[in-house]
C-alpha cells in the first residue's frame, strides 16, 4: 500500500517503510520516516509501506502530567485508565528530560526474521527536548495479529529527531487517549495470514523486539 492510499485510513499512526527502512509515524496527517542514521524525512505519497497502524484520532480522555514520569509510571497509568479488551491510541505532548530511541536499517533479500533485524538496530538518546509521542496499545487477545502491549514512536517538535521509544523520562505534558472499539486489518492480495503463534515463547520474543521486558 502506498502512503497516499494509507492517508485515507487516518491522520494518526505508526509503522515502517518499504524494506523495513526505518521507523514511520503519522502526526496530524503528516507522514515522517526516521532512518537508521537518526535523520527525519517527509514520506512521499508514492512510497510503499508493508505495515502500519492508523486511526482518525479523536481523543475521549485527556489529562495533564505535572510531575516527572518514567516509562514504568506512564505504563501504570495507562493500565489504570484503559479498557484492556480494547485497542487504545495515545498522544503525548510533553517536555522530556530524555527519550531513548532506535531505528533499523533498510533490509535486503532474503529478508531475515524481525528478531534478527533488531540486532542491527541503531540507538540514540534525545535530551531536554519538546516533542510528541504517538502510540497504540493492543490487548493480549490480539497476539499473532498485532504486537500486544504498548508501541510508541517519538518525534521532536522541530522534526529533527525521532524513532521507536524504548525508554524515557518525562518532565511534564498532556496525555490524550482514544479507546478504539473496531479493528480493520487489510493485507495485500495474495498474502495469507499465517496461524497465530500465541505461545509464551513467541510473546517473549516480540517483547524483546519491542525493546521492553514486560
Our count of domains for the chain comes to 1
33: how many CB neighbours lie within 10 A of its CB?
Answer: 22
Closest residue by Cα to residue 179 from 91, 83, 56: 83
- Looking at the DSSP bridge assignments, the partners of residue 146 are 143
Residue 81's alpha-carbon distances to 56, 71, 169, 188, in angstroms, are: 20, 16, 20, 35
Q: What is the pLDDT of residue 200?
A: 60
C-alpha cell at 6: 494509507
List CB contacts of 171: < 8 A, sequence separation 6 or more. 68, 94, 95, 96, 97
Domain membership of residue 48 as a residue range: 3-210
Residue 44 DSSP class: P
Average pLDDT along the chain, 214 residues, taken 10 residues at a time: 97 97 98 96 97 97 97 92 89 99 94 85 97 95 82 97 98 97 78 57 58 50
CATH code, 29:
3.30.1330.80
Q: What is the pLDDT of residue 124?
A: 97
Amino acid at each position: 500500500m502506498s502512503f497516499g492510499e494509507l492517508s485515507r485510513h487516518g491522520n494518526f499512526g505508526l509503522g515502517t517503510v518499504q524494506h523495513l527502512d526505518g521507523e514511520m509515524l503519522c502526526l496530524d496527517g503528516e507522514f515522517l520516516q526516521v532512518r537508521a542514521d537518526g535523520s527525519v524525512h517527509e514520506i512521499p505519497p508514492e512510497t510503499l509501506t508493508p505495515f502500519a497502524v492508523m486511526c482518525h484520532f479523536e481523543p475521549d480522555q485527556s489529562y495533564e502530567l505535572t510531575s516527572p514520569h518514567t516509562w514504568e509510571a506512564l505504563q501504570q497509568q495507562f493500565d489504570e485508565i484503559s479498557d484492556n479488551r480494547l485497542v487504545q491510541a495515545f498522544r503525548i505532548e510533553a517536555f522530556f528530560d530524555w527519550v531513548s530511541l532506535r531505528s533499523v536499517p533498510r533490509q535486503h533479500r532474503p529478508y531475515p526474521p524481525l528478531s534478527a533485524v533488531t540486532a542491527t538496530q541503531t540507538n540514540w538518546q534525545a535530551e531536554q527536548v519538546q516533542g510528541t509521542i504517538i502510540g497504540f496499545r493492543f490487548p493480549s487477545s490480539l497476539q499473532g495479529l498485532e504486537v500486544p502491549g504498548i508501541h510508541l514512536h517519538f518525534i521532536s517538535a522541530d522534526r529533527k529527531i525521532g524513532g521507536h521509544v524504548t525508554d524515557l523520562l518525562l518532565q511534564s505534558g498532556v496525555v490524550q487517549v482514544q479507546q478504539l472499539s473496531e479493528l480493520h486489518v487489510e493485507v495485500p492480495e495474495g498474502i495469507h495470514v499465517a496461524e497465530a503463534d500465541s505461545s509464551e515463547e513467541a510473546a517473549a520474543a516480540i517483547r524483546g523486539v519491542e525493546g521492553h521486558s514486560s
